[in-house]
Amino acid sequence: MSDVKPTIAILGGTGALGTGLARRWAQAGYPIVIGSRTKEKAQEAVTELQSLMQERGVDAVAVEADDNQSAAAKADIVTLTVPYAHHASTLEGVKADLEGKILIDVTVPLRPPKVGTVQLPDAGSAAQEAQALLGEGVKVVSAFQNVAAHHLQEGHGIECDVLVAGNNKEARAEVVTLVEAAGMNGFSVGPIANSAAAEALTSVLIQINRQYKCHAGIRISGLPEQDS
Amino acid sequence: MSDVKPTIAILGGTGALGTGLARRWAQAGYPIVIGSRTKEKAQEAVTELQSLMQERGVDAVAVEADDNQSAAAKADIVTLTVPYAHHASTLEGVKADLEGKILIDVTVPLRPPKVGTVQLPDAGSAAQEAQALLGEGVKVVSAFQNVAAHHLQEGHGIECDVLVAGNNKEARAEVVTLVEAAGMNGFSVGPIANSAAAEALTSVLIQINRQYKCHAGIRISGLPEQDS
């Protein structure tokens, strides 16, 4: 990558997770396009983000609003943070605009009301569904499923590692860079099938959050020179 | 539970994980029956364990050998640590002896050669397969899938938390106690379906181990009063 930072679209970017990622990446200097079903809805999130950036004294970064499809078309890298119920339909709508790009799929296949029970789809994971729907011309990389939106929204450090899965090694490495830009450690963990681990873990963390009244995450332990 | 500790059988107890758990629990004072396909094979592991206990100056604990079926019949709690290829057949052989008991299923559905790729079975997880095979009269609880045998074998503290899934809440709590007895933190994470998370994570950790030349594990982060 050159010094010019890629433009990142965040589809479904008005939710807690989407705005949280937008804040982190905007602070790191990445141009952001927040997408939503309508440009107007996306504009509200952009206005809020701009005032927050001003409060925090962050130098002007390009943050704009658009509908999901135009946002996908404008961006170099596209992030998807919609509820699972809108996963396939949102992807269908932007499929042509993703060709050749990295899609960062943050979707967790939670099926209310039993969000604390793992219910992975037949394909194995939501990310595998995305890869099948989009075809091999799109580099689907899954990430961020285990990070509490609460922590992304705050300015503090985040005690959660990010598992990064995808069939393209270079794309995984690029997403690991974006994870680090957002203030976390990313681990490149192999093929898109391995997204099942991160997606399933979300229900496990929901169970732990209920018991401990917290926003739990995971850390990878036992690494060389990082044993505490 | 009374002060009398339950007897724990470890089926397939001659492998690295099985002998590791046996060491930890024997050191904590739990009577152990190591099971294998033949009593003779189990006896080798028991002899080794007894000499290790003596080296470490651990007071005599009851450690005996038997074939898998007799071991299951003798024990109050049964642990299964066999390769996935022998999972169903081993359970078939001991099914009648498990009635009313807790079965701690440590099985990870790894399918060589691609052990670094998540390949969960159609039932969702190996633990769900076990519960379906054994029926509701057996309290299947899954645990320990993410702990490196290497760490269990050593005497040191273990930097890995254990996800404990199962449909019976009291059984989960009893297994959490056994996790603590083995020197780790256990988290009760809901129904047996949630074993998918721990089982899938093993392939993710295999990927990380290959990259970092380590024996990685996971820690739950973001807990109250435990933020570091």
pLDDT of residue A1: 47
Share of chain B above pLDDT 70, in %: 97
Q: How far apart are CA B55 and CA B60, in angstroms?
A: 11
Q: Which pLDDT band holds residue A227 (cuts at 50, 70, 90)?
A: very low
Kindly state the tokens that stand for A141.
Answer: 């990389």
Residue A185 domain flag: yes
Dihedral of the alpha carbons of B105, B110, B112, B115, in degrees to the nearest 10:
-140
Q: CA nearest A210 in B: which residue? A: B189
Report d(CA B15, CA B13) in Å as an integer. 6
Residue A223 lies in a domain: no
For residues B176-185, give the mean pLDDT.
97
- pLDDT one-digit tens code per residue, A101-151: 999 999 999 999 999 999 999 999 999 999 999 999 999 999 999 999 888
d(CA B15, CA B23): 12
Domain of residue B22 covers 8-212
Rounded to an integer, the average pLDDT of B192-219 is: 97
Give domain status of residue B225, yes or no: no
In a domain, B66, yes or no: yes
State how far residue A61 is from chain B, nearest Cα, in angstroms: 31
- Nearest-CA neighbor of A9 among A70, A82, A87, A100? A70
Q: How does the average pLDDT of chain B come out, rounded?
A: 94
What whole-number percentage of chain B has pLDDT above 90?
Answer: 85
How high is the pLDDT of residue A196?
A: 98
Q: Which SS3 state, helix, strand or coil, does residue B173 take? A: helix
In this structure, is residue A220 part of a structural domain? no
pLDDT of residue B61: 79
Instruction: Tell the residue number behind the tokens 């490495």, with chain if given.
Output: A173
In 3-state terms, what secondary structure has residue A108?
A: coil
Write down the residue that tokens 């059988």 correspond to.
B9
Q: How many domains does chain A divide into?
A: 1
pLDDT > 60? residue B179: yes
Residue A210: its chain B contacts at CB < 8 A? Answer: none
Q: What is the pLDDT of residue B113?
A: 97
The owner of tokens 């364990």 is: B49
Q: Which residue of A has its CA nearest to B210?
A: A189
Q: In chain B, what residues touch A227 (CB-CB under 8 Å)?
A: 159
Strand partners, B65: B34
In this predicted structure, what is the pLDDT of residue A60? 65
Token pair recorded at residue B10: 């470890």
**How close is the nearest chain B Cα to the Cα of A50, in Å?**
29
- In the predicted structure, residue B1 carries a pLDDT above the cut 50: no
Using a CB–CB cut-off of 8 Å, the residues of B that contact A are 116-120, 124, 148, 151, 159-160, 163, 165, 187-191, 193-194, 196-198, 200-201, 203-205, 207-208, 211-224, 227-228
Residue A227 within a domain: no
Q: Which residues of A touch B120 (CB under 8 A)?
A: 120, 124, 196
Spatial contact of B177 and B120, defined as CB atoms under 8 Å apart: no
B156 pLDDT tier (thresholds 50, 70, 90): confident
Reported as type and span, the H/E element at residue B133 is: helix B126-134
Beta-carbon separation of B194 and A159 below 8 A: no
Give B94-108 pLDDT, tens digit per residue: 999 999 999 999 999
Residue in A228, A33, A127 with CA at minimum distance from that of residue B160 = A228
Contact B82, B11 (CB under 8 A): yes
CB B124 within 8 A of CB B214: no
Q: Which residue has the higher pLDDT, B157 or B193?
A: B193
State which of A155-169, A192-206, B37-51 shows the largest mean pLDDT: A192-206
A77 backbone dihedrals φ, ψ, rounded to 5°? -130, 135
Q: What is the pLDDT of residue B228?
A: 44
CATH number of the domain residue A31 falls in: 3.40.50.720
**Chain B interface disruption, residue of A164, A169, A185, A219, most B CBs within 10 A:** A219
Mean pLDDT of A3-14: 93
Q: Residue A145: inside a domain, yes or no?
A: yes
| Ranges assigned E (strand) in chain B | 8-11, 32-36, 63-67, 77-80, 102-105, 139-142, 162-166, 186-188, 217-221
pLDDT classification of B60: cutoffs 50, 70, 90: low
Tell me what pLDDT residue A206 has: 98
Q: Kindly report, residue by residue over B119-148, the tens digit of the pLDDT.
A: 999 999 999 999 999 999 999 999 999 999
Could you tell me the two tokens for B174? 């009893």
Contact A4, A10 (CB under 8 A): no
Judge contact between A18 and A34, C-beta under 8 A: yes
In a domain, A219, yes or no: no
Query: Mean pLDDT throughout A41-63?
Result: 87
Check pLDDT > 60 for residue B41. Answer: yes
Strand partners, A64: A33
Give tens-digit pLDDT for A170-216. 999 999 999 999 999 999 999 999 999 999 999 999 999 999 999 99
Residues in chain A with CB shorter than 8 Å from the CB of B220 are 205, 208, 216-218
pLDDT of residue A228: 44
pLDDT attached to residue B78: 98
